[in-house]
Amino acid sequence: MAYEWYADIFCLTSLLMDFCAVYTAGIILNRAVSWKRCMIACVFGVGVSVSLLFMIPRYAIYSLLVHGMVHPLMTLMVFGGRDRAGYLRALLTVYIVLFVMGGVQNWLTVLNGRKTGQIIVYGFVAALLFTGYQVRRRVMKNVCRVEVWLSGKSRILWAYCDSGNLLRDPDSGAPVSVLEQELFEQLPQDTVRKKEISYRTIRQEGSMMVVLLDRMDIWQKGTKKQIFKPEIGLQKGPVMQHPRVQMLLHASYFA
Protein backbone atom coordinates (compact mmCIF):
# COMPACT_ATOMS: atom_id res chain seq x y z
CA MET A 1 0.00 0.00 0.00
CA ALA A 2 1.38 3.43 -0.97
CA TYR A 3 0.99 6.53 1.14
CA GLU A 4 1.17 10.15 0.07
CA TRP A 5 3.08 12.50 2.38
CA TYR A 6 2.15 16.18 2.44
CA ALA A 7 4.93 18.26 3.97
CA ASP A 8 2.74 21.28 4.72
CA ILE A 9 0.10 19.26 6.56
CA PHE A 10 2.78 17.33 8.47
CA CYS A 11 4.54 20.54 9.54
CA LEU A 12 1.36 22.35 10.60
CA THR A 13 0.01 19.33 12.49
CA SER A 14 3.32 18.73 14.27
CA LEU A 15 3.68 22.41 15.10
CA LEU A 16 0.18 22.61 16.56
CA MET A 17 0.57 19.40 18.57
CA ASP A 18 3.97 20.41 19.98
CA PHE A 19 2.83 23.93 20.83
CA CYS A 20 -0.30 22.68 22.58
CA ALA A 21 1.73 20.13 24.54
CA VAL A 22 4.45 22.56 25.67
CA TYR A 23 2.10 25.42 26.52
CA THR A 24 -0.36 23.11 28.31
CA ALA A 25 2.55 21.70 30.32
CA GLY A 26 3.44 25.25 31.36
CA ILE A 27 -0.12 25.83 32.57
CA ILE A 28 -0.23 22.51 34.43
CA LEU A 29 3.10 23.21 36.15
CA ASN A 30 2.11 26.84 36.78
CA ARG A 31 5.26 28.06 35.05
CA ALA A 32 5.46 31.53 33.56
CA VAL A 33 6.18 30.52 29.95
CA SER A 34 5.93 32.90 27.01
CA TRP A 35 3.83 31.77 24.05
CA LYS A 36 6.42 33.36 21.74
CA ARG A 37 9.20 31.25 23.25
CA CYS A 38 6.98 28.17 22.93
CA MET A 39 6.35 28.94 19.27
CA ILE A 40 10.07 29.49 18.54
CA ALA A 41 10.96 26.21 20.25
CA CYS A 42 8.24 24.33 18.37
CA VAL A 43 9.28 25.79 15.00
CA PHE A 44 12.83 24.68 15.78
CA GLY A 45 11.59 21.22 16.72
CA VAL A 46 9.47 20.79 13.60
CA GLY A 47 12.33 22.00 11.39
CA VAL A 48 14.75 19.49 12.89
CA SER A 49 12.14 16.71 12.73
CA VAL A 50 11.49 17.30 9.03
CA SER A 51 15.24 17.38 8.32
CA LEU A 52 15.73 14.09 10.16
CA LEU A 53 12.82 12.57 8.26
CA PHE A 54 14.59 13.24 4.94
CA MET A 55 18.02 12.19 6.22
CA ILE A 56 17.11 8.96 8.04
CA PRO A 57 15.23 6.28 6.07
CA ARG A 58 14.49 4.02 9.04
CA TYR A 59 11.47 5.27 10.97
CA ALA A 60 12.48 3.56 14.23
CA ILE A 61 15.77 5.48 14.39
CA TYR A 62 13.97 8.67 13.40
CA SER A 63 11.48 8.24 16.25
CA LEU A 64 14.27 7.60 18.77
CA LEU A 65 16.07 10.78 17.71
CA VAL A 66 12.89 12.87 17.86
CA HIS A 67 11.92 11.64 21.32
CA GLY A 68 15.47 11.47 22.66
CA MET A 69 16.84 14.72 21.25
CA VAL A 70 14.28 17.05 19.63
CA HIS A 71 11.59 17.11 22.34
CA PRO A 72 14.11 17.38 25.21
CA LEU A 73 15.76 20.33 23.43
CA MET A 74 12.37 21.99 22.89
CA THR A 75 11.57 21.57 26.58
CA LEU A 76 14.99 22.98 27.50
CA MET A 77 14.40 26.05 25.31
CA VAL A 78 11.06 26.78 26.97
CA PHE A 79 11.60 25.81 30.62
CA GLY A 80 15.37 26.05 31.02
CA GLY A 81 17.66 23.49 32.58
CA ARG A 82 19.08 25.08 35.74
CA ASP A 83 16.75 23.08 37.96
CA ARG A 84 17.23 19.48 36.84
CA ALA A 85 14.24 18.15 38.76
CA GLY A 86 12.02 20.93 37.38
CA TYR A 87 13.24 20.22 33.84
CA LEU A 88 12.50 16.51 34.17
CA ARG A 89 9.01 17.27 35.51
CA ALA A 90 8.41 19.58 32.55
CA LEU A 91 9.62 16.97 30.05
CA LEU A 92 7.47 14.26 31.64
CA THR A 93 4.43 16.57 31.61
CA VAL A 94 4.97 17.38 27.92
CA TYR A 95 5.01 13.68 27.05
CA ILE A 96 1.94 12.96 29.18
CA VAL A 97 0.04 15.72 27.37
CA LEU A 98 1.18 14.39 23.98
CA PHE A 99 0.17 10.86 25.00
CA VAL A 100 -3.29 11.96 26.14
CA MET A 101 -3.86 14.13 23.06
CA GLY A 102 -2.75 11.33 20.74
CA GLY A 103 -4.94 8.77 22.49
CA VAL A 104 -8.02 10.97 22.42
CA GLN A 105 -7.40 11.83 18.77
CA ASN A 106 -7.10 8.15 17.78
CA TRP A 107 -10.25 7.28 19.72
CA LEU A 108 -12.25 10.04 18.03
CA THR A 109 -10.77 9.09 14.67
CA VAL A 110 -12.14 5.56 15.04
CA LEU A 111 -15.57 6.90 16.04
CA ASN A 112 -15.97 9.85 13.70
CA GLY A 113 -13.27 9.72 11.05
CA ARG A 114 -9.85 11.32 10.90
CA LYS A 115 -10.79 14.91 10.06
CA THR A 116 -13.64 15.13 12.57
CA GLY A 117 -11.49 13.63 15.33
CA GLN A 118 -8.68 16.10 14.75
CA ILE A 119 -11.05 19.06 14.69
CA ILE A 120 -12.65 18.01 18.00
CA VAL A 121 -9.27 17.45 19.70
CA TYR A 122 -7.77 20.73 18.51
CA GLY A 123 -10.92 22.61 19.46
CA PHE A 124 -10.84 21.12 22.96
CA VAL A 125 -7.13 21.90 23.39
CA ALA A 126 -7.65 25.46 22.13
CA ALA A 127 -10.45 25.99 24.66
CA LEU A 128 -8.26 24.56 27.44
CA LEU A 129 -5.34 26.83 26.54
CA PHE A 130 -7.58 29.88 26.35
CA THR A 131 -9.05 29.14 29.78
CA GLY A 132 -5.61 28.69 31.30
CA TYR A 133 -4.40 31.89 29.67
CA GLN A 134 -7.31 33.88 31.08
CA VAL A 135 -6.76 32.49 34.59
CA ARG A 136 -3.05 33.33 34.46
CA ARG A 137 -3.79 36.77 33.07
CA ARG A 138 -6.09 37.55 36.01
CA VAL A 139 -3.45 36.40 38.47
CA MET A 140 -0.68 38.42 36.85
CA LYS A 141 -2.83 41.56 36.92
CA ASN A 142 -2.41 41.53 40.69
CA VAL A 143 1.36 41.02 40.57
CA CYS A 144 3.55 44.07 41.09
CA ARG A 145 7.26 44.85 41.47
CA VAL A 146 8.57 45.44 44.98
CA GLU A 147 11.97 46.59 46.25
CA VAL A 148 12.82 45.86 49.88
CA TRP A 149 15.56 47.76 51.74
CA LEU A 150 17.62 46.71 54.75
CA SER A 151 20.91 48.23 56.01
CA GLY A 152 21.48 50.07 52.73
CA LYS A 153 21.04 46.93 50.60
CA SER A 154 18.02 46.27 48.41
CA ARG A 155 16.40 43.36 46.65
CA ILE A 156 13.88 43.56 43.80
CA LEU A 157 11.19 40.89 43.65
CA TRP A 158 7.64 40.22 42.47
CA ALA A 159 4.75 40.32 44.92
CA TYR A 160 1.08 39.38 44.75
CA CYS A 161 -1.49 41.90 45.99
CA ASP A 162 -3.31 39.47 48.23
CA SER A 163 -6.74 40.74 49.25
CA GLY A 164 -7.00 37.77 51.60
CA ASN A 165 -3.90 38.68 53.59
CA LEU A 166 -5.27 40.48 56.66
CA LEU A 167 -2.46 39.46 59.01
CA ARG A 168 -1.47 42.13 61.54
CA ASP A 169 0.98 42.38 64.41
CA PRO A 170 -1.12 41.81 67.56
CA ASP A 171 1.11 44.23 69.54
CA SER A 172 1.50 47.18 67.15
CA GLY A 173 -1.44 46.55 64.81
CA ALA A 174 0.88 47.01 61.80
CA PRO A 175 0.08 45.08 58.61
CA VAL A 176 2.31 42.07 57.96
CA SER A 177 3.27 40.98 54.45
CA VAL A 178 4.74 37.52 53.84
CA LEU A 179 8.12 36.90 52.19
CA GLU A 180 10.02 33.75 51.29
CA GLN A 181 12.63 33.18 53.98
CA GLU A 182 15.29 32.11 51.47
CA LEU A 183 14.99 35.48 49.76
CA PHE A 184 15.26 37.42 53.02
CA GLU A 185 18.46 35.57 53.91
CA GLN A 186 20.15 37.27 50.95
CA LEU A 187 19.86 40.63 52.78
CA PRO A 188 22.20 41.81 55.60
CA GLN A 189 21.32 40.14 58.90
CA ASP A 190 23.40 42.21 61.37
CA THR A 191 20.94 44.90 62.47
CA VAL A 192 17.63 43.24 61.67
CA ARG A 193 14.98 43.23 64.38
CA LYS A 194 13.05 39.99 64.78
CA LYS A 195 10.12 38.83 66.83
CA GLU A 196 7.56 36.06 66.77
CA ILE A 197 3.83 36.63 66.39
CA SER A 198 0.87 34.27 66.43
CA TYR A 199 -1.57 33.91 63.55
CA ARG A 200 -4.80 32.09 62.87
CA THR A 201 -6.45 31.16 59.58
CA ILE A 202 -9.47 29.05 58.68
CA ARG A 203 -7.31 25.95 58.29
CA GLN A 204 -4.50 26.40 60.79
CA GLU A 205 -2.93 28.48 63.50
CA GLY A 206 0.62 28.89 64.72
CA SER A 207 3.49 31.35 65.01
CA MET A 208 5.54 33.24 62.45
CA MET A 209 8.88 35.02 62.60
CA VAL A 210 8.48 38.71 61.69
CA VAL A 211 11.32 41.09 60.74
CA LEU A 212 11.34 44.87 60.51
CA LEU A 213 12.77 46.25 57.26
CA ASP A 214 13.93 49.80 56.61
CA ARG A 215 11.71 50.47 53.61
CA MET A 216 9.59 48.84 50.95
CA ASP A 217 8.86 50.39 47.53
CA ILE A 218 5.79 49.11 45.68
CA TRP A 219 5.28 49.80 41.94
CA GLN A 220 1.71 49.25 40.82
CA LYS A 221 -0.15 50.63 37.79
CA GLY A 222 2.53 53.22 37.09
CA THR A 223 2.66 54.58 40.65
CA LYS A 224 5.22 54.12 43.41
CA LYS A 225 4.26 53.71 47.05
CA GLN A 226 6.85 53.81 49.83
CA ILE A 227 6.27 51.94 53.08
CA PHE A 228 8.68 52.80 55.90
CA LYS A 229 9.48 50.26 58.62
CA PRO A 230 7.27 47.52 57.16
CA GLU A 231 6.80 44.32 59.11
CA ILE A 232 7.50 41.21 57.05
CA GLY A 233 6.61 37.65 58.01
CA LEU A 234 8.98 34.91 56.87
CA GLN A 235 7.74 31.67 55.35
CA LYS A 236 9.84 28.65 54.48
CA GLY A 237 9.28 27.57 50.90
CA PRO A 238 7.22 29.30 48.21
CA VAL A 239 4.46 31.68 49.26
CA MET A 240 2.43 30.91 46.13
CA GLN A 241 2.30 28.21 43.47
CA HIS A 242 3.28 30.70 40.79
CA PRO A 243 7.12 30.61 40.64
CA ARG A 244 7.37 34.30 39.80
CA VAL A 245 5.67 35.45 43.02
CA GLN A 246 7.98 35.63 46.05
CA MET A 247 5.93 37.82 48.38
CA LEU A 248 2.32 38.33 49.50
CA LEU A 249 1.49 41.98 50.19
CA HIS A 250 -0.98 42.97 52.88
CA ALA A 251 -4.45 43.90 51.66
CA SER A 252 -4.25 47.40 53.17
CA TYR A 253 -1.42 48.43 50.84
CA PHE A 254 -3.65 48.54 47.77
CA ALA A 255 -7.10 49.08 49.25
Q: What is the pLDDT of residue 94?
A: 86
**pLDDT tens digits for range 158-193:** 888 877 788 888 888 899 999 988 888 888 877 778
| Residue spans per domain, the chain | 7-140, 142-254
pLDDT value, residue 113? 56
pLDDT tens-digit map of 214-231: 999 988 766 788 899 999
The superfamily CATH assigns to domain 142-254 is Acid Proteases (2.40.70.10)
DSSP annotation string for 152-178: TEEEEEEEEE-TT---B-TTT--BEEE
Share of the chain above pLDDT 70, in %: 75
Q: What is the pTM of this model?
A: 0.48
CA angle, 68 as apex, 37 and 119 as ends, to 5°? 60
Q: What is the pLDDT of residues 195-215, one digit of tens each?
A: 888 877 656 677 888 999 999
